[in-house]
Structure 1
Amino acid sequence: MPDQLSALSGRFDVTVVGAGVVGCAIARRFALSGARVAVIEKAVDILDGASKGNSAILHTGFDAPVGSLEQSCIASGYEEYLAIHSRLGLPLLRAGALVIAWTEEEEALLPTLMEQARQNGVSDIEALSEAAMRAHEPGLGPGARAAFRVPREYLIDPWSAPFAYLLQAIENGAEVLRGAEVISGRRDGDWSLETTRGTVRTGMVVNAAGLWGDRLDERLIGRSDFHIRPRKGQFIVYDKPASRLAAHILLPVPNKVTKGVVVCRTAFGNLLVGPTAEDQDDREHAVLMPETLEALKRRGAEILPRLKDHTVTAIYAGLRPATEFKDYCIKAHDGLNYITVGGIRSTGLSSALGIALHVEHLARLALTPRSAPAWPKVANISETCPRDWQTEGHGGVVCHCEMATRREILAAFEGPLPVRSLAGLKRRTRVTMGRCQGFFCTAELSRLTDGRFVRPMAERAE
């Protein structure tokens, strides 16, 4: 089985440490290039770190620093996602974005931001007067002054995409070791990585450990060129009727620290407000703060006043692996067969495929690409395409808020990457993520998942 229950055996050409969206994309790229690939993940399920909480937007990179590695990776990752999404069964909802000025000072910055977009290769932008802006989005609050439109911004499923990347890697020979932390490593020609579940031998190591990237560098090569300072982002998710309030992704004028609070629909039919940008030292816990969430609600209602009439379905927070540097921290370490991929912050979902191409170039391995690679399709859980409950034989709907079926849930326990936690099952099926937050389906889920999770539902709420 590709998803091992014990230590991986044999020698690998490339081992990727970290199974967030970036690690999954890198594993896919090397597997398609013909390498024997291993992926080591500390958590029992993939996407358990920074990748579990984001805005679920596929960006053009129009506002990235001109000439930066981040901009280059976003641009190439964006193009590859458009090229491959249908072959992997991934959704794509074209929404477009409005960058909105709410003050006189912000309005004065719009021409500069538009020029930045053009320099980044995003030339199909459109300046909008207040009247034109409100024609596109009549529900905007009274403070909106002017905007410009970026038509090729998309909404995507943030969990199915990395799952599809890793699944394709597995279908093309990659192996995955979960619940394994890399403790140390030594290099004598090849690397020997000591994990909590055995030793992995590999020719090259790619550090995609996200929030722990600097610590992994220190463990394996004795130094780190950056320091992770987690940046917390809190979000509010409104019930599905609120999605009718905005057609576009509504963006603020960014500042030097953050892109600011975004209001947009999601691929799952909700409306999202967030994130905040709060630096902290804790790398594991993203604590929700009631006063901050109330401020987010107020800001959301300033942007779309009718939000006051809608119900909040969920609140959540994620941590981004910010560093002291503005750009990504991606480096091949001379003579070590070791590549660090750090400081990806908030744009990893859009740039992951582009980062993978960049890392492949840095690796300079002599490989023979697979002539006929496998292209598995993942099951759709977005509201942009037909769902499982709309087809016969699904065994009944278990989670009625998100219309997740018994067949979908049971399928998540099969295949080469079975889920091992409630958090993982949520990201694969959307169970317990709707209006009742699991109140009605938890008992049935507990029965269906009995003996399948590392920690049973009855033992710990996730």
Structure 2
Amino acid sequence: MSDPNLSWSNQHFDVVVIGGGVVGAALLRRFTLEGAKALLLEKAPDILDGASKGNSAILHTGFDAPTDSVEHWCIRQGRKEFLDIHEALGLPLVKTGALVVAWSKEEQQRLPSLLEKANANGVDDVRMLSRAEIQQREPALAPGVTGGFEVPQEYIIDPWTTPYAYLLQALCNGATVTRNSEVLEGSFDGAQWHLKTTTGQCTADVVINAAGLYGDTLEQRLIGRSAFSIRPRKGQFVVYDKAASALLSSILLPVPTETTKGIVLTRTVFGNLLVGPTAEEQDSREDWSTDSQTLEMLHATAVRMLPALADIPITATYAGVRPATEEKEYRIRALADQRYVAVGGIRSTGLSSALGIAQYVYNLYQREIGAAHKAIAEPAIPSELPQISEYGPRLWQAADNGGIVCHCELVTQADIDRALCGPLPAKTLAGLKRRTRATMGRCQGFYCTARLAALSEQHLDEPIAEHYE
């Protein structure tokens, strides 16, 4: 079913999805539920190891997306589907709402046009708020607020369990996922694709490129040219201690500019509060580092907006790298004569739009390539989904959980065992963290790493002891 063996190698598939991020996960789920025999190839040892591992975890409404764009359509449809399925899949949804807040006269003057854009985008429950109304709703905000408006249906979700759930549902309905499988070569003979990877080879009727930060490289490798160029954009974040989450009830959005959505303050489903991201152009697709000057800027920005943060410890910092391209639009297209679909340039809204992207691509697949399948009448629902949100039941509250392993995040031995032995087991320390929250807390793994190393022995591709050498 997954990658402990090479049963997928030398098989033929209707569709091969390349890339194990949130978009690839949603695509695999959609094509599987539509009845296609589908395979996902991921080059890393674990899923979500690229652009999808670092984001702000907001379920957007698309109120500020380019009107009538593919991105706008995908956000709207993806959000609708998420709201339809999240309870069945056991995915958390925290209905915070958002405030777009102006801190200057210039920003205040841009609010009416943003409100008009929201209405044009079908988000018609936005409402202008006075300075007094905002301060009444969020009393911990600094007094410099000049005004703003509310977006009631912007919510926070789990950025890691969500795509994991998509993959698990695909798996339990017949899909195949394999990791450590970088696509080395691909050729189309006029009827089918022949793919060679680092762990095996297969054939497919259709190939979908969802390789994120390496989408252009993969396209060049497969068809000899690329219609887009990835221009990596780093976003750094600061995560505050759990006490900070009591300071803010809404997502705090800035007045966006032409180039960036700006710096956000929001609670997370893990009980923290984060500020970010920045928008830094860089050449490297692998540079996930943070720097002290930028982190200090983020902290200072957060304190200016929420002064009480000055006295709250910082728990963690991290960076995400987004697969921006030379254009703002999503780069989705089908080459019918080569039975190839590219899904590129999914920058900062991939978590919200992934299910919509999957719908869009499946429609494209039917229309441009002429393929059709018999949808599964009653799709199976995965039963082994981890619950790591602070806003729902967790295993530390249950009996027979094996005891606490990570005390900062209340991760139990049962959580660890499930993550290591489930249908898509963790293969790296980062993968274990994304499935359990282990090492995410104040000590950043200082106290629990030795126990984690013992529990995960023989399970991870890179043993934890080697990770820290």
Q: Calculate the TM-score normalised by the size of structure 2.
A: 0.97
Which one-letter code corresponds to 1:44 in the other structure?
A: P
Structure 2 equivalent of residue 394 of structure 1: 401
Structure 1 residue 439 corresponds to structure 2 residue 441: no
Structure 1 equivalent of residue 336 of structure 2: 334
Equivalent positions of 1:400-411 (< 5 A) are 400-411=407-418
Deviation at 1:285, TM superposition (A): 1.6
Structure 1 equivalent of residue 131 of structure 2: 130
Deviation at 1:4, TM superposition (A): 4.4
Equivalent position to 1:297, from 260, 276, 299: 299
1:31-52 C-alpha deviation (Å, 9 max, x unpaired): 0000000000000100000000
Structure 1 residue 370 corresponds to structure 2 residue 339: no
Structure 1 equivalent of residue 174 of structure 2: 173
Distance in 2 between the 1:285 and 1:41 partners? 19
The answer for unaligned runs of 5 or more in structure 1 is none
Does the Cα contact within 8 Å between 1:99 and 1:147 map onto a contact in 2?
Answer: yes
In structure 2, the residue corresponding to 1:427 is in which secondary structure?
helix
Structure 1 equivalent of residue 33 of structure 2: 32
Equivalent positions of 1:41-440 (< 5 A) are 41-188=42-189, 189-364=191-366, 365-377=371-383, 378-440=385-447
Does the Cα contact within 8 Å between 2:10 and 2:200 map onto a contact in 1?
Answer: no
1:160-219 C-alpha deviation (Å, 9 max, x unpaired): 000000010011111011001101101121101111112121110000000000011100
Distance in 1 between the 2:242 and 2:96 partners? 16
Over aligned residues, Cα RMSD in angstroms?
Answer: 1.0
Deviation at 1:9, TM superposition (A): 3.5
1:311-344 C-alpha deviation (Å, 9 max, x unpaired): 0000000100001111100000131110000000
Which one-letter code corresponds to 2:36 in the other structure?
A: A
After superposition, the Cα gap between the structure-2 partners of 1:279 and 1:197, relative to the gap in structure 1 and judged at 3 Å, is same
Which one-letter code corresponds to 2:372 in the other structure?
A: A
- The total of aligned residue pairs comes to 462
1:80-103 C-alpha deviation (Å, 9 max, x unpaired): 000000110100000000001111
Which one-letter code corresponds to 1:142 in the other structure?
A: P
Which one-letter code corresponds to 1:207 in the other structure?
A: N
Does the Cα contact within 8 Å between 1:249 and 1:265 map onto a contact in 2?
Answer: yes
Which one-letter code corresponds to 1:91 in the other structure?
A: P
Does the Cα contact within 8 Å between 2:234 and 2:282 map onto a contact in 1?
Answer: yes
Which one-letter code corresponds to 1:318 in the other structure?
A: G
Which one-letter code corresponds to 2:169 in the other structure?
A: Q
Distance in 2 between the 1:170 and 1:412 partners? 16
Which one-letter code corresponds to 1:260 in the other structure?
A: G
In structure 2, the residue corresponding to 1:51 is in which secondary structure?
helix
Deviation at 1:461, TM superposition (A): 3.2
Deviation at 1:8, TM superposition (A): 2.4
The answer for unaligned runs of 5 or more in structure 2 is none
After superposition, the Cα gap between the structure-2 partners of 1:234 and 1:298, relative to the gap in structure 1 and judged at 3 Å, is same
Deviation at 1:2, TM superposition (A): 2.9
Does the Cα contact within 8 Å between 1:4 and 1:175 map onto a contact in 2?
Answer: no
Deviation at 1:310, TM superposition (A): 0.3
Deviation at 1:415, TM superposition (A): 2.5
Which one-letter code corresponds to 2:376 in the other structure?
A: R
Structure 2 equivalent of residue 5 of structure 1: 5
Deviation at 1:126, TM superposition (A): 1.0
With 35-44 and 7-16 compared, the bigger mean Cα shift is at: 7-16
Structure 1 residue 23 corresponds to structure 2 residue 48: no
Distance in 1 between the 2:457 and 2:423 partners? 20
Which one-letter code corresponds to 2:98 in the other structure?
A: A
Deviation at 1:3, TM superposition (A): 2.7
* Percentage of matched positions with identical amino acids: 56
Q: Calculate the TM-score normalised by the size of structure 1.
A: 0.99
Distance in 2 between the 1:4 and 1:198 partners? 13
In structure 1, the residue corresponding to 2:113 is in which secondary structure?
helix
Deviation at 1:349, TM superposition (A): 0.2
Which one-letter code corresponds to 1:372 in the other structure?
A: E
Deviation at 1:5, TM superposition (A): 2.9
Distance in 1 between the 2:90 and 2:390 partners? 13
